[in-house]
Amino acid sequence: MLTALAPIVARRSPHHGAVAPRAIADRAVAALLKELDAWPKPGLVSRVDSGSHTDMDAAMMAASAASLRPFFAELAAAGQDGAAIDRLREIGLRAEAAMLLVTGGVNTHRGAIFGLGLLCAAAGSMTRDSGAIVPSRLGDVVRQRWGADILRGPVPLFSNGTTALRRYGAGGARAEAASGFRNLYQVGLPALREARALRPDDPDAAAVQACFALIAAVRDTNLLHRRGMEGSRAAAAMASAFLQQGGVATPDWHARAATIHAAFVALNLSPGGCADLLAMTLFVDDISLADTL
């Protein structure tokens, strides 16, 4: 697991006089790999298995994450330059093309490119004047600088998220970003930190707890696309039951989580939007844990 990166302050941009965009990008890629490492996450790809996915595995996910590093750096630099949403969107489209080239056309990280990319741009923006990143405010920067444009921007006609939006009224990634990543800060991050305090020596517990909390709270467009409202409700109910029975605080948490993971696979449920939010949560948390920013 990539958990011991050098403090961000150690690498400064000669062009901006602030935190180097490549250091922000390192944190973003590390967050994607930490999300991949955690198991059992219901229905999702991990180092152990491919969950509900037959078209991707851990090696593909890792290669995909690595391919995004230069684009996360570009997005951070664009944020430092005060870029508008059109520039961020152009970088994101090039990142998506690079991802699809590496994966042979499989969508491994489109949602993460969008959400993590915006957080990278927000981190860059925050360093432009003071050189400091305030993790608790990254979502506010996204909302204030680009939120309205995100909601006004072009909507893909045939994406899974757009289909779910039309059919079920789900807000999806665009609404989450425009809100300043409300679920990241109000659900994912508190669950992650509470579980880490409960099980500081277990590398999986905190991320798994945060994943379950997000599945219980978020109407995930990937779940809606795969199994409709019935599948979405079933996923939320299983995640809620896990949390109500103590989550990772109980001695048998790992076995209970693995049973729910198997149930998600049997039902072809994959909460990909929550996986993206988990990676974003890990990114914000990782920056918060840095020695100096």
Residues 94/71, Cβ–Cβ less than 8 Å: yes
| C-alpha dist (Å) from residue 171 to 165, 177, 273 | 6, 10, 11
pLDDT by residue, tens only, the chain of 293 residues = 333 343 343 344 444 445 689 999 999 999 999 999 999 999 999 999 999 999 999 999 999 999 999 999 999 999 999 999 999 999 999 999 999 999 999 999 999 999 999 999 999 999 886 678 999 999 999 999 999 999 886 655 335 555 545 454 445 788 899 999 999 999 999 999 999 999 999 989 999 999 999 999 998 888 988 778 888 999 999 999 999 999 999 999 999 999 999 999 999 999 999 999 999 999 999 987 654 44
Domain that holds residue 259: 20-289
Please give the pLDDT value at position 209. 98
Residues 131/18, Cβ–Cβ less than 8 Å: yes
**b (16+ CB within 10 A) / e for 3-13:** eeeeebbeeeb
Residue 14 located in a structural domain: no
Residue 9 located in a structural domain: no
| C-alpha dist (Å) from residue 19 to 27, 132, 281 | 12, 7, 20
Residue 103 located in a structural domain: yes
d(CA 157, CA 161): 10
Residue 12 located in a structural domain: no
Write down the pTM of the prediction: 0.89
d(CA 259, CA 131): 46
Residue 15 located in a structural domain: no
Please give the pLDDT value at position 252. 96
Q: How many domains does the chain have?
A: 1
Residue 173 located in a structural domain: yes
d(CA 45, CA 49): 6
